[in-house]
Structure 1
Amino acid sequence: MKSGLKPPSRSRRVPGLLLVPLLTLGLASGCSFTEPATDTAPAASPSPSASSSGSGKAKPSKSSSASASPVEGGAETQEDAEAVVQSPQPAPEPEFDAAQEQFLQDKVPEGNDPNAILQVGQEHCDQLTSANALDGEAVLSELIMKPSKDTSDAIVSLCPGLLPVLEAAALGFPDGVFAVGEAAPWAEEPSVAPGTYRAYGMSTECGISVYAGSGDLIGSFDGTQPVTVGADAARVESTQCYSWSRA
C-alpha cells in the first residue's frame, strides 16, 4: 500500500538551497549585517561656547580673550616684561687713581674709551723706561729733539721715575740757530741758556759755532768735547750734532 505523503528528505533541502540567494539578495538591496561596537567612545557633547542661537559659529571664550589683552590695572604683558629684562644696562663708570685722572685730563674726546687712551700712555711709558735702562743718553737726546706734551704728561703722571730725564731734556737744544738768553729752543724766537753742553753721538760731521753780539765768531767746535756758551755770546749755530745737553 503506497502512502500519499512525499518523502521528508526533499522538503528539508529547500531551505538550504534558498540560503545563498537570500543572503545575496540582502547584500544587493543595501541591507548589511553590522556587529555591535564593543569599545566605542561616547560621543562628545557640544561645548556651550560652540552652540549659538542660529549663528552656527563658535564664540571666543573669555579665557582666550583675557590672555591676548593686557591685564587690567596696568600690569605688564609677557612681551613687556621680556623687553624690560633684555634692555641694555649702562656700562659702569671706570675708576682711575689720581695719577691716571691727571693724565687723562683733556685727552678723552666725547664717545672715546678712556681706558684705551690710558693704555697708550702706559705703553709709551713702558717703552721709555726700557730704553732708558739700555741707553739713557739716547732717550735724553730723543726727548730734546722731539718734545711732546703727551710724552711729558705720561712721564709726569704714569712714570715719574723718568722725571730727571725730562727735566734735563728741557735744558738742552737740537740742531739749529738760537739766540742766547733762556732755555726755550722751541719758542717762536728760539733761544738757549748760557752754560756748558755736550753733543750726543759725537758725529764726525757735528759742528757748532758761537757768535758774539757784534757778529764776531767766538769759536767753532766739532762736538767731540763739551762746549761752553758764555753770557757774552749772542747766537749759537749747530749742525749735524743731533742734540746738546747740559754737561
Structure 2
Amino acid sequence: MRRPPHRRPAAAALVLAAVLALSACSSSDDAGGGRAGGPSKAAGPSRSAAVPDRQAEAEPPGPTPSISRGPVVPDAELKPVTGSFTQDQKAYLSGRVPKDTDPAAVLQTGQESCQRLERTAKRDKDAAVGAIIAGDIRDAEAAITHLCTAQKPLLATAKTGFPDGTTKTPRAGTYRALTTDPACAWRALDADGKVLASGPSPGDDGPVKAGIPARTAEFVSSSCYAWLPA
C-alpha cells in the first residue's frame, strides 16, 4: 500500500505561525499599557527610571505640529462642529491648527498632554519635569499655559534645567541628572575647548551630579536625559 505524504513539516509550520502570532499579540498588549491608540516608540537608554515608558505613553503621530508651518485656520474660524471653545482653548489653538484639520482634534492633543503631565506628576514630579525638559510631551508649555494651568509649577521648574546633549553657556552651579542610567557622563568645556570638569568619577554612587564652572562655554552630556539644579 502506498503511504500518504509526510505532512509533519506543514503542521510544524502552522504551529510556528500560531506561536509567532500569539507573541506579536502579547507584545502589542504589553506596549499598550498607557493611553490607548498610541503607536509604539522605543524608549531611549538615557531615560529616568521614573519617567513613563515612551512606548506606553507615546504621542500619536499626525498632522498636529507644535506650530503649523503651513497655512493655518484663522482664529475667527476656530469653531468645533458642536458647542464652542473657551477663551483658553482658543488661545491654545491660535496658529496651531493646519488648514483642513479639525480644531477639536488639535485641542484633544493638548488635553492629552495635560493628562500625561498630571498622571506623571502624581507618581514623580521630577519625572514630569524631565519629560517637559526633554520634549517628551508634545506642546507641553502651550498646554500648561492655556489648558492645565495647575501644572505651571512644573513648567517653572523645567525652565531652570536643560536637556541631555550640548548646552551653550550654561549657568554655573551644581546640577543633577534625571536618570538612573549608569552610562550618563558629562564634561564642561571653556571657549577654547579645554575640559574644565567632567564626570562621573569612578566609584560615584547615587544620582549623577555635575559641577559647572563659571567659565563654561559648552556643557556636553550623554545618556543623562535632563538636568536640574541640585
TM above 0.5, yes or no, is yes
Q: Indicate whether 1:165 and 2:145 are aligned.
A: no
Q: Output the CA distance in 1 between the equivalents of 2:83 and 2:98.
A: 15
| Structure 2 residue aligned with 1:150 | 139
| Structure 2 residue aligned with 1:245 | 228
Q: Output the CA distance in 2 between the equivalents of 1:150 and 1:126.
A: 13
Q: Output the CA distance in 1 between the equivalents of 2:194 and 2:81.
A: 67
The answer on whether the counterparts of 1:168 and 1:246 sit within 8 Å (CA) in structure 2 is no
Determine helix, strand or coil for the equivalent of 2:165.
Answer: strand
| Structure 1 residue aligned with 2:126 | 137
Q: Indicate whether 1:198 and 2:187 are aligned.
A: no
Shift of 1:226: 3.0
Structure 1 155/234 Cα, relative in aligned 2: closer, same or farther at 3 Å? same
Shift of 1:126: 1.3
- Gapped runs of 5+ residues in structure 2? 1-79
Q: What pairs up with 1:1-247 in 2 under 5 angstroms? A: 94-146=83-135, 150-180=139-169, 192-222=170-200, 224-247=207-230
| Higher Cα radius of gyration | 1
- Gapped runs of 5+ residues in structure 1? 1-90, 181-191
The answer on whether the counterparts of 1:145 and 1:174 sit within 8 Å (CA) in structure 2 is yes
Letter in 2 for 1:201: T
Determine helix, strand or coil for the equivalent of 2:211.
Answer: strand
Q: Output the CA distance in 1 between the equivalents of 2:175 and 2:86.
A: 39
Q: Output the CA distance in 2 between the equivalents of 1:112 and 1:129.
A: 27
Determine helix, strand or coil for the equivalent of 2:182.
Answer: coil
Q: What is the number of residues matched between the two proteins?
A: 146
Shift of 1:111: 4.2
Q: Output the CA distance in 2 between the equivalents of 1:205 and 1:127.
A: 27
Structure 1 149/106 Cα, relative in aligned 2: closer, same or farther at 3 Å? farther
Shift of 1:102: 0.7
TM-score (norm 1): 0.52
The answer on whether the counterparts of 1:210 and 1:236 sit within 8 Å (CA) in structure 2 is yes
Would you identify which runs of 4 or more consecutive aligned residues in structure 1 move more than 4 Å?
none
Structure 1 148/136 Cα, relative in aligned 2: closer, same or farther at 3 Å? closer
Structure 1 150/177 Cα, relative in aligned 2: closer, same or farther at 3 Å? closer
CA RMSD of aligned residues (A): 2.5
The answer on whether the counterparts of 2:184 and 2:208 sit within 8 Å (CA) in structure 1 is no
